[in-house]
Chain A
Amino acid sequence: MTTILEAVKLSRSFRLPRIGFGKERAMRLALVDVDLQVNQGARLGIVGESGSGKTTLARLLLGLDTPTAGFVKFRNEPLAGQDMHQFRRDVQVVFQDPRSSLNPRMSVETIIGEPLECLNVSGDQTARIEEVLAAVGLPLDLRHRFAHELSGGQRQRVAIARALAPYPKVLIADEPVSALDVLVRDEILSLLAGLTDNLGLTLILISHDLSVIARLCDDVVVMQDGVIVERGKTADVFRFPQHEFTRKLIAAVPRLPSNT
């Protein structure tokens, strides 16, 4: 098992705005000393509530933020010294809110074409755009449309298509279905599962929803207040939760009447 992406003693804190004069500026510890290894081909879930640090971790793994301490390794090399264009080709992201992750002034074609242009992906761009649109199950004539003309599910498919365009090896999905209607969630999760299998992707799925993690991820990491409190195989962690917070989380999932 080769480790493809790794967090080494990763910490990130933010200075809060000054309150009053002469007082010390408080720090918000978003991430504290996190160690994480993601193996190639793995399907890892990162679960936690708001303020757990899961989104901060995602941004650091994507190189979209710099840590206050520790570092990120990609293919066993620290991120700092790497060719960022190559890294960005290999590690891509899907964000939560399909309404704000697509530029309202850009057509679908331009949105999907952006990584191809900026990352100097070789090959016919138009052909690649058509390829990924088909891979996410969208009709080709959608490419001239704009975000506000599409449904939530369609927009999220476009976001996935954009992430797939530069032939990534790792896909990080940050709450990819939380903003979608229940029935649409199912479709998108199936799509993600299918694509991960077919393309041999490494998937890192971030969610507060345990059933989403349960559906797609073999391994899971539970976060609370910037720290990883539990990790292991999804089946093991859900069946025999060790940490109090994990137990609380599992017990809080709303169940159907017959199963309470």
Chain B
Amino acid sequence: MTRNRTLTIGASCVIFSIFLALLSLIWTPYDPLEMNSELSLTGPSTAHWLGTDENGRDILSSIIVGSRATLMTGILAVIICMVIGTSVGIATSVAPKWVEMPAIFGIDIVLALPTVLFAIVLAAVYGPSTWTAVFAIGIALSASVAQVTRREVVVVLMADYVMAARASGCGTWRIVTKHILPNIRASLFVQASGACAIAILAESTLSYLGLGTTPPAPSWGRMMASFQQYLLINPIFPLWPGLAIVITVLGFNLLGDGLRESLDPTLRQSEK
């Protein structure tokens, strides 16, 4: 077994972010909402490792708690897009032609919609919140998941074992559950990690624009937005949430790449 560095680095970053989120449930250095106007915008110090924001709130604590919003949104959005995307992808591949054509058209339309635009519309109707972001991202991403899934399913459907299953009397449902799904499993894992990376980045963008997690709950994207104005005073402030976002997004991307690398050769295992 060769060491898969991409996988290791990716997994480490992801685990780190998850660790922060879990940590936030039991302990933070300070209450992230606790304001202290005397300590406004201080740099890193022994008391506050990453410094304080304009309201004297501890940045480190905000980062730790912010991970929760980011990961939650990311993971929930991914669950939505994978469930919708995979179902639509499989359904349109096994459906008769007259269903397939309009469905593909529908997928293409959703693909063309920018996630942010979708989120703005949802926010306008339902008000900005974590859930607005979750649904906007989830639905927008489901289209590309559906597209990639379709490609994978088409490959499986061409294999003789699917025809053999039909000759053995298998109905469509059984072919989907016993033959298609197990053989696209690996691709689904890879897609999910990739979608996670995009979802998290999207969440940060949405909360940066004020369309996601609402104050006072800390959110990395919003922290970036509010620290922006202090960029010239001390660039170190936006650095922290930025770094947190980069590590998490990169982590999921590398995890996806690493999974693809390690799962592919196993699938093509040759006989003696």
Interface residue count on the B side (C-beta < 8 Å): 23
Cβ–Cβ < 8 Å partners of A59 in chain B: 163
B residues with CB within 8 A of A: 159-161, 163-171, 174, 178-179, 182-183, 185, 267, 269-272
Closest 8 CB pairs of A and B: A118-B169, A115-B168, A101-B160, A105-B182, A119-B169, A100-B160, A103-B161, A95-B160
Q: Is the CB of B164 within 8 A of A93?
A: yes
Question: In the bound complex, how far is the Cα of B271 from the Cα of A97, in angstroms?
Answer: 14
Q: Is the CB of B167 within 8 A of A96?
A: no
Question: Nearest A residue to B174 by beta-carbon distance?
Answer: A118
Q: Is the CB of A162 within 8 A of B169?
A: no
Interface of B (DSSP majority class): helix
Quick check: is A201 within 8 A (CB to CB) of the other chain?
no
Q: Is the CB of A115 within 8 A of B169?
A: yes
Q: Which of B168, B182, B270 contacts A148 (CB 8 A)?
A: B270
Question: In the bound complex, how far is the Cα of B162 from the Cα of A93, in angstroms?
Answer: 13
Question: In the bound complex, how far is the Cα of B174 from the Cα of A95, in angstroms?
Answer: 20
Question: In the bound complex, how far is the Cα of B166 from the Cα of A59, in angstroms?
Answer: 11
| Among A92, A100, A152, residue most surrounded by chain B Cβ atoms (within 10 Å) | A100
Cβ–Cβ < 8 Å partners of B185 in chain A: 105
Quick check: is A104 within 8 A (CB to CB) of the other chain?
yes
| Interface residue tally on A, bucketed by range | 20 to 34
Minimum Cβ distance to chain A for residue B178 (Å): 7
Minimum Cβ distance to chain A for residue B7 (Å): 22
Q: Which of A95, A97, A103 contacts B179 (CB 8 A)?
A: A103
Question: Nearest B residue to A105 by beta-carbon distance?
Answer: B182
Cβ–Cβ < 8 Å partners of A118 in chain B: 168-171, 174
Given contacts A95-B160, A148-B270, contact A64 B169 (CB under 8 A): no
Quick check: is A102 within 8 A (CB to CB) of the other chain?
yes
